[in-house]
Structure 1
Amino acid sequence: MTLTIRGDYITYLRETPWDKRNFGVNTYEVTDIGKEALEETDAYEGHFTIKVDPLENPEPLLRHGFYYVDTLIEPVCQRDNLQVFEDNHVRITKDYNPSAILAIAEEAFTLGRFHRDFHIPDALADKRYKNWVDDLQQSGKLFALTYDSDTVGFYGFSDNKVLLLGVRKDYRGQGFAKRFTSLSCREHFKAGYEELQTSVSAVNAPSLNLFYTLGFRLRGAVDVYHKLNGAFA
């Protein structure tokens, strides 16, 4: 159970301002699945996210207006297990043109939970991921992927977590992703981590296969439910 004391009352809602700026409504992460937490979501307008064990009984969630959107698989990789695929044409760099990265981000994410949420227009889901990529650029937590001198993708991270991968459309389906990602992971490990973690939608078979090829193994999973009180502008 996670709760916060805000002023003179207890709340189970954690505000997510990075999503509010994209969707134009109040957005929250629900930090507990208990009765009081679910009842609190009934008292406010906005968009809510809750992550639960897949074995959890969903009936209370459904009764309070939540709906299933995704299952996130959680692969992890130990430093010694990483499989690296060398390619003399591929380079990982932090010296890149930000606009080239944002252009890739505009069309790289179609299998995420925000695109699967039938309440969220695709344009807003696209905006959400593009702004996330921009945030990672601004904080220095993104590698650009180049093939010769061509910017073809990106790898976003925070601490030991692999957050976002994007490869330009004309480079997909040709085996480049495992080269780009393995070299990025090797660079990521240089920060001193013994383990990298990531989170992949269960419907994103290409990404799951990619990480398995690189030496990641599945540790767990969570089901994600959303709820919308009100409407998007």
Structure 2
Amino acid sequence: MTEYLEPTPWDKRNFLIDTYQLTEYSEAALQQTSETEGHFTLKVSPSADTQNLVKYGFYYVDTLTEPVCSRSRLDTVHQEGIQFSREYDPEKILDIAAEAFSGGRFHRDFNIPDYMADRRYRNWVGDLMEQDQILALHFEDKTAGFFAYEKDKILLLGMHKDFRGRGLAKAFTSACVEEQFRITGYDRLKTSISPSNPASLNVFISLGFRLNGAVDIYHKLNGSLPVGG
């Protein structure tokens, strides 16, 4: 039964229903989603024929571009007073995560209540803290943000609302990228950004990142969520 469906337990705990990602885009895989109750994610090329997606009840939720940058291409922007630390108040990091990522694909999914989408980000950040994959960003003696990474991938970069709109985005992002180059030793980093977040995308491009392709993301809900859980 699960030949084409890969369980995603990190999503199941948030939505309280079985969740899966499809391992391939074929009619047999799509048919299996009609025979299984749950919430499904499928990533396809933007040039893919989507006729069967509509036929089997999938709906578009987002596109993810992949900006990449080599160490030599990074255009650094320095800002005095930026510091990184693995010592931080977890609740402050979780508070930033709760309100900084309101435009993600699960927030855009009309079948997912906002509180469930918020919970998914908080739990993901909680996991990353446990795995020591988060660094707090301190500025003016305050926790101004954080970034999360895994090997050569920039996973998340969040700024506290009090530090947005102050012209610090480029300096903060530049500092995070430089720090990840330093601590991981990789010569090339990548990240994923939705075109629905042009401010973030423009910051990365201004620092020397170049787009390296994109994928469209579709969801499907077969069954119902226990709303209120």
Counterpart amino acid of residue 203 in structure 2: L
Q: Is the 8 A contact 1:48 1:227 kept in 2?
A: yes
Distance in 2 between the 1:21 and 1:51 partners? 21
Q: Structure 1 residue aligned with 2:186, among 193, 208, 211?
A: 193
* Corresponding position of 1:34: 26
Distance in 2 between the 1:119 and 1:53 partners? 23
* Corresponding position of 2:9: 17
Distance in 1 between the 2:38 and 2:169 partners? 37
The DSSP-based 3-state class of the residue aligned with 2:106 is helix
Structure 1 stretches of 4+ with a deviation exceeding 4 A read none
Distance in 1 between the 2:133 and 2:2 partners? 34
* Corresponding position of 2:51: 59
Distance in 2 between the 1:41 and 1:10 partners? 10
Distance in 2 between the 1:79 and 1:121 partners? 40
CA deviation after TM superposition for structure 1 residue 10, in Å: 6.1
Distance in 1 between the 2:35 and 2:108 partners? 25
Residues 107-129 of structure 1: CA distance to partner in whole angstroms, max 9, x if unpaired?
01111101000000000000001
Q: Which runs of 5+ in 1 are unaligned?
A: 1-8
CA deviation after TM superposition for structure 1 residue 170, in Å: 1.4
CA deviation after TM superposition for structure 1 residue 43, in Å: 1.0
Q: Structure 2 residue aligned with 1:206, among 199, 219, 222?
A: 199
Distance in 2 between the 1:93 and 1:120 partners? 34
Distance in 2 between the 1:102 and 1:165 partners? 13
Q: Structure 2 residue aligned with 1:230, among 220, 223, 227?
A: 223
Say if 2:98 is the partner of 1:111: no
Output the TM-score relative to the length of structure 1.
Answer: 0.94
Counterpart amino acid of residue 26 in structure 2: G
Q: Which runs of 5+ in 2 are unaligned?
A: none
**Could you tell me the percent identity over the aligned residues?**
51
Distance in 2 between the 1:58 and 1:171 partners? 41
Q: Structure 1 residue aligned with 2:210, among 186, 198, 217?
A: 217
Counterpart amino acid of residue 135 in structure 2: F
* Corresponding position of 2:158: 166
Number of positions where the alignment pairs a residue of Structure 1 with one of Structure 2: 225
* Corresponding position of 1:140: 132
Q: Is the 8 A contact 1:92 1:183 kept in 2?
A: no
Distance in 2 between the 1:26 and 1:83 partners? 44
* Corresponding position of 1:4: none
Distance in 2 between the 1:25 and 1:230 partners? 9
